[in-house]
Chain A
Amino acid sequence: MTPLTASTAAAPGASKASHVNVNDFTILVATANGTGSQTANSTLIRTIMGMGLPVSGKNIFPSNIQGLPTWYSIRVCEAGWSSFRRVPDVVICMNPATALEDVRKVAPGGTVIFDAPLQLEKMRDDVRFYAVPFGKLVSQVTPNSKLWTLLKNMLYVGAAAELLSLDFAEVEKALRKAFASKPKALESNLLAVRIGADYAKANFPERPPFRVEARNLTAGKILIDGNSATALGACMAGCTVLTWYPITPSSSVAESLQEYFAKHRRTPDGKHTYAVIQAEDELAAVGMCIGAGWAGARAMTATSGPGVSLMSEFIGLAYYAEVPFVLVNVQRTGPSTGLPTRTMQGDLLACAYNSHGDTKHPMLFPATPEEAYRMTMDAFELAEGAQTPVFVLSDLDLGMNNWMCDPFAYPETPIARGKVLSKEAFLKMPAGSWGRYADVDGDGIPWRTLPGTEQDGMAYFTRGTGHDEKARYTEDDAMYVKNMVRLSKKFETIRKLVPAPLVSAAPKPSRTGVLAFGTTHYAVEEARALLRTDHGIEFDYMRLRAFPFTDDVKRFFDAHDHVYVVEQNRDAQMAAMLRIEIPEVAMKIRSLLRFDGLPMAADEVAAEIAAKEPRR
């Protein structure tokens, strides 16, 4: 049996599994929002990672500050897969409100660790139950009842660590890191872990059929959320102006960036090489961004779908006036009172063709934290290079969840600020020859000047498309058309500048293709392995990384009879864009869609493709 299928292998209704699953299972921790379980969950993850095993963590949380149920899903997988598993193997039930539902979720042959008073043990006979009296135990940790809610979390860390054979030296390391600046808290948390573990040891002679065994697969790796990676990319890219309005799941981009700025972006005499404004709304956030980009700053804003909607008018202006800035959109589900804390790839059309009139915008689709870091840097180069707004389309799954990856590389190339005309260069030009919107290089990208340059002839007046090549006001029809055609040419130049898709070919030539982008990558990648082992189905895989689509996309369609376009929205937005941009591929598109707000699961992708593909 391959490690991939080990945990779901037990037949429905099977009694307690006899084999032991080593290093390939999913733990679901069910708590209530606001109980402070984050540190406990990250301790579990760091411990597993410290034991040399690939691990990933996903937060499934409500739009609420306190009280509503929240889940944290931890996947340990020696094979390295990190897509979402809908069916957990081990459930830690801390929330009475969802306990019954949580027990129903666990895979047959699974394990439930629960708060003893919940009395869940009779619910199923195909899983093992471990009742821990967390309430009683926590009073042994401290008499201070104010800390009980928090410390109960560390009790489940201790019990789970003991039951799943985690390495306590790694648990301690993780705690020391988490509480580096709070020695008193460290002490009580360590004690709680010990008490939880001791209880499990003394009371559960029979071990659950899940065990973590140390390996050496994580040396040098980091564990990071996509939003931190994006923020770090912006900090390293030399972003100088950040303007934003809080919205989940993008807020932590701005918050992390402010931390990086404060630590790493000061002059020798302590001055800030950045400015951050928390604006009054997204209209103001993007307006400030545009004013800053226009006046020469490397400017960015971070938001999510509702914010993009508010920014739309301004985005159109920036497109026509050719003002660079970076817009990070950490996508989420639906409107403000939809499932705002769940993930989605739902803003493709809203971003690609955002605003009024003829507009289209470059978009980058990071799938990994490394890409979130790198593409954010690239986005600034592209925005200033092409003098246009650039979208980085992340999502909640990438942005707010923890991913294991290699540390990020220092940027190899110096910062390039694009076609900014200096006074010296201007003076070397024939008098009167410069025009703000003149295409002198044949790439559709004009030269701009920066406000405040002390030289006659360099100033220009900025407005929408009602301008000629020298930025003078005109409503001349031919001039308008000429300018719009140049903007299209600029988009063609951008097509050559954006990152190409990554293609991974099947071992044997295949007539079936799969196309994905962003975080659906994880499900597709793993589904590929499942289809290979379980169904003998092989396909070529293209992961898109940018819009406009490079010529590779059409070539990929040409080389296949049909291509599954995998995306996380109801209306097949990427498929729609492919049909608009490359109409001849339309008939080859088969959409594979999920839109329930949860990260995509590999087994579901595999099942759907297996059902649609002819048997080989």
Chain B
Amino acid sequence: MSSTLPPSVPGAAPGGASQPAKPQVNRLGLSQKDYGGVPSTLCNGCGHDTITAALISAMWEDGMNPYKIAKMSGIGCSSKTTAYFNSKAWGFNAVHGRMPSVATGAILANHTLNSVGVSGDGDTASIGIGQFVHAIRRNVPLVYVVENNGVYGLTKGQFSATAERGAKSRWGDENQAEGIDLCGLALELGCTFVARSFSADRKQIVPLLRAALRHRGTAVLDIISPCVTFNNHEASTKSYDWGRTHEKPIHEIGYVNAWDAPAVDYPEGERIEVPMPDGGRILLRKLGRDHDPRDRESAARLIAEARARREFLTGIFYVDGDAPNLVDGLNLPAEPLATLPESLTRPGRDALDAVMESFR
């Protein structure tokens, strides 16, 4: 798939395979290592670590300004991972289920930051479902990655709210409640970027993340990410084996920035091109299905069908790159509120006098 896509960095292979000789650099002159973080302390083989690696590649390939990223998370194994990428940026490991509000606040203070939120299925679909809903409703500019393993990893394997009815735990007990489909819910809420992926499908995740990182609103990425310790057993529907045998990509995904070399395109008729507001383009190659991710109804149908048939569809269900986001509605100056000078944030004596007069 990659061969048909343009490299974002001249000479660099998409996906970030590095050549041993000299480290490749992106358009900012930074190597992939420059986007690295502290070593992971997750279990060997944990799906979350693959997503971390994909985030590093995506940010690097995209040439994102590493200092201007805000790494936001809640609590869980998944939420720890924001420490494992891009140490040039600030991170905030907040409280369980409340990453969206903290991310929203940070954006209010400094709207020039690119917020990347990492959460878990417990963090989002259980304790944090309210904040997930309202972040989407406000279209907070935020890449919202849910590292979905169907269990609470950090508290040792209890079912989360994304576990399907009938799912079996490692100990054999059966989940009695219906699972929440985060993509379906997000779409219903008017989410402007809805996608699903599989942590082991690195080829898909990297361009998907690049597209999401360029999105101006809330980009919900529900990434199935196996928990090798508590939910990778035979009966699991969130295991590596299950994912590998069931994943059905709805399309191949590529992302091309405005500044990238001219694209070698997918053939006409197989290709869907979604322009992004900053001049970039999402390039999709159809895989047997005729889904245009700008078509909300088609997206809703697709998600509902997949749910009914218990199909593991991956790809971009929906994208609306032009929808106004939270910041658009606030009429903020170019300079972040955080650093506005006193001359702009403290009204003058006349103003106070006028207010006092109104109380006379």
Which residue numbers of A lie inside 8 Å of B, CB to CB? 221-224, 228, 232, 235-241, 243, 260, 263-265, 267, 269-275, 277, 279-281, 283-299, 313-314, 317, 321, 407-408, 410-411, 414-415, 449-456, 459-464, 472-473
Q: Which of A232, A235, A285, A294 contacts B92 (CB 8 A)?
A: A294
Closest CB pairs A-B (n = 5): A291-B105, A287-B101, A296-B338, A238-B345, A297-B109
Determine the distance from Cα of A232 to Cα of B352 in the docked complex, in whole angstroms.
8
Determine the distance from Cα of A239 to Cα of B352 in the docked complex, in whole angstroms.
15
CB pair B67 A291 closer than 8 Å? no
CB pair A280 B345 closer than 8 Å? no
Known: A274-B337, A452-B68. A292 touches B108 (CB 8 A): yes
Determine the distance from Cα of A462 to Cα of B89 in the docked complex, in whole angstroms.
11
Interface centre among A267, A286, A454, A464, by most chain B C-beta atoms within 10 angstroms, is: A267
Residues in B with CB closer than 8 Å to A232 are 352, 355
CB pair A291 B103 closer than 8 Å? yes
**Contacts beyond the supplied A267-B344, A295-B108: 13 A-B pairs with Cβ under 8 Å:** A222-B360, A236-B352, A264-B351, A272-B331, A285-B101, A287-B104, A291-B106, A295-B107, A295-B338, A411-B346, A449-B90, A459-B90, A461-B83
Determine the distance from Cα of A237 to Cα of B345 in the docked complex, in whole angstroms.
8
Known: A281-B130, A296-B336. A275 touches B108 (CB 8 A): yes
Q: Which residue of A lies closest to B346 (CB)?
A: A238
**Is B95 close to A, CB under 8 A?**
yes
Determine the distance from Cα of A238 to Cα of B344 in the docked complex, in whole angstroms.
8
Interface centre among B87, B138, B340, by most chain A C-beta atoms within 10 angstroms, is: B340
Residues in A with CB closer than 8 Å to B92 are 291, 294, 321, 461-463
Give residues of chain B (325-349) contacting chain A, Cβ–Cβ below 8 Å: 330-333, 336-340, 342, 344-347, 349
CB pair B105 A290 closer than 8 Å? yes
Chain A proximity mask over B179-191: 1 for CB below 8 Å, otherwise 0: 0000000000000
Interface centre among B67, B89, B105, by most chain A C-beta atoms within 10 angstroms, is: B105
Residues in B with CB closer than 8 Å to A472 are 38
Determine the distance from Cα of A464 to Cα of B92 in the docked complex, in whole angstroms.
10
Q: Which of A265, A408, A415, A462 contacts B356 (CB 8 A)?
A: A408
Q: Could you list some 8 contacts between A and B, CB below 8 A?
A: A238-B346, A285-B101, A287-B94, A289-B105, A295-B113, A295-B338, A461-B83, A461-B91
CB pair B345 A299 closer than 8 Å? no
CB pair B105 A272 closer than 8 Å? no
B112 → A minimal CB distance (Å): 6
Give residues of chain B (44-92) contacting chain A, Cβ–Cβ below 8 Å: 65, 67-68, 70-72, 82-83, 87-92
CB pair A241 B83 closer than 8 Å? no
Q: Which of A239, A291, A414 contacts B101 (CB 8 A)?
A: A291
Residues in B with CB closer than 8 Å to A280 are 130-131, 133-134
**Is B110 close to A, CB under 8 A?**
yes
User: Could you tell me how many residues of chain B have their Cβ less than 8 Å away from some Cβ of chain A?
Assistant: 58
CB pair B347 A235 closer than 8 Å? yes
Determine the distance from Cα of A274 to Cα of B109 in the docked complex, in whole angstroms.
9
Residues in A with CB closer than 8 Å to B72 are 291
Known: A454-B67, A473-B83. A459 touches B89 (CB 8 A): yes
B153 → A minimal CB distance (Å): 17
B305 → A minimal CB distance (Å): 31
B125 → A minimal CB distance (Å): 17
**Is B98 close to A, CB under 8 A?**
yes
**Is B171 close to A, CB under 8 A?**
no
Known: A223-B359, A314-B95, A410-B349. A241 touches B337 (CB 8 A): yes
CB pair A240 B340 closer than 8 Å? yes
Q: Which residue of A lies closest to B108 (CB)?
A: A275
Determine the distance from Cα of A414 to Cα of B349 in the docked complex, in whole angstroms.
13
Q: Which residue of A lies closest to B92 (CB)?
A: A462
A526 → B minimal CB distance (Å): 24
Residues in A with CB closer than 8 Å to B340 are 238, 240, 273
CB pair B110 A296 closer than 8 Å? yes
Determine the distance from Cα of A269 to Cα of B335 in the docked complex, in whole angstroms.
13
Residues in B with CB closer than 8 Å to A224 are 359
Known: A223-B359, A265-B347. A450 touches B330 (CB 8 A): no
B29 → A minimal CB distance (Å): 13
**Is B102 close to A, CB under 8 A?**
yes
CB pair A461 B93 closer than 8 Å? yes
Known: A287-B98, A314-B95, A452-B113. A294 touches B105 (CB 8 A): yes
Residues in A with CB closer than 8 Å to B332 are 271-272, 275
Give residues of chain B (106-132) contacting chain A, Cβ–Cβ below 8 Å: 106-110, 112-113, 130-131
Residues in A with CB closer than 8 Å to B103 are 291
Determine the distance from Cα of A275 to Cα of B107 in the docked complex, in whole angstroms.
10
Interface centre among A238, A263, A296, A451, by most chain B C-beta atoms within 10 angstroms, is: A451
Known: A260-B355, A277-B104. A284 touches B330 (CB 8 A): no
A217 → B minimal CB distance (Å): 15
Residues in B with CB closer than 8 Å to A461 are 71, 82-83, 87, 90-93
Determine the distance from Cα of A295 to Cα of B94 in the docked complex, in whole angstroms.
13
Determine the distance from Cα of A555 to Cα of B192 in the docked complex, in whole angstroms.
62
CB pair A295 B345 closer than 8 Å? no
Residues in A with CB closer than 8 Å to B113 are 295, 451-452
CB pair B105 A271 closer than 8 Å? no
CB pair A298 B356 closer than 8 Å? no
A215 → B minimal CB distance (Å): 17
Residues in B with CB closer than 8 Å to A410 are 349, 352
Q: Which residue of A lies closest to B339 (CB)?
A: A296
Determine the distance from Cα of A201 to Cα of B95 in the docked complex, in whole angstroms.
67
CB pair A273 B345 closer than 8 Å? yes
Residues in B with CB closer than 8 Å to A222 are 356, 359-360
Q: Which residue of A lies closest to B90 (CB)?
A: A451
B330 → A minimal CB distance (Å): 5
Residues in A with CB closer than 8 Å to B102 are 287-288, 290-291, 294
B77 → A minimal CB distance (Å): 14
Determine the distance from Cα of A74 to Cα of B267 in the docked complex, in whole angstroms.
81
Q: Which of B68, B112, B359 contacts A228 (CB 8 A)?
A: B359
Q: Which of A284, A408, A460 contacts B131 (CB 8 A)?
A: A284
Residues in B with CB closer than 8 Å to A459 are 67, 87-91
A419 → B minimal CB distance (Å): 15
Interface centre among A237, A279, A285, by most chain B C-beta atoms within 10 angstroms, is: A279
CB pair A240 B347 closer than 8 Å? no
Known: A281-B130, A288-B105. A415 touches B342 (CB 8 A): yes
CB pair B98 A462 closer than 8 Å? no
CB pair A292 B106 closer than 8 Å? yes
Q: Which residue of B lies closest to A220 (CB)?
A: B360
CB pair A293 B105 closer than 8 Å? yes
Determine the distance from Cα of A281 to Cα of B133 in the docked complex, in whole angstroms.
12
Residues in A with CB closer than 8 Å to B70 are 295, 451-452
Interface centre among A284, A285, A295, by most chain B C-beta atoms within 10 angstroms, is: A295
Q: Which residue of B lies closest to A271 (CB)?
A: B333
CB pair B65 A294 closer than 8 Å? no
Residues in A with CB closer than 8 Å to B101 are 279, 283-288, 291
Q: Which residue of A lies closest to B133 (CB)?
A: A280
Give residues of chain B (138-160) contacting chain A, Cβ–Cβ below 8 Å: 138
Known: A236-B347, A274-B337, A280-B134. A295 touches B109 (CB 8 A): yes
Determine the distance from Cα of A463 to Cα of B101 in the docked complex, in whole angstroms.
15
Q: Which residue of B lies closest to A316 (CB)?
A: B95
A317 → B minimal CB distance (Å): 5
B101 → A minimal CB distance (Å): 3
Residues in B with CB closer than 8 Å to A462 are 90-93
Residues in A with CB closer than 8 Å to B68 are 452, 454
B189 → A minimal CB distance (Å): 12
Residues in A with CB closer than 8 Å to B134 are 279-280, 284
CB pair B104 A288 closer than 8 Å? yes
Residues in A with CB closer than 8 Å to B355 are 232, 260, 264
Q: Which residue of B lies closest to A263 (CB)?
A: B351
Residues in A with CB closer than 8 Å to B349 are 410
CB pair A272 B336 closer than 8 Å? no
A254 → B minimal CB distance (Å): 15
Residues in A with CB closer than 8 Å to B83 are 461, 473
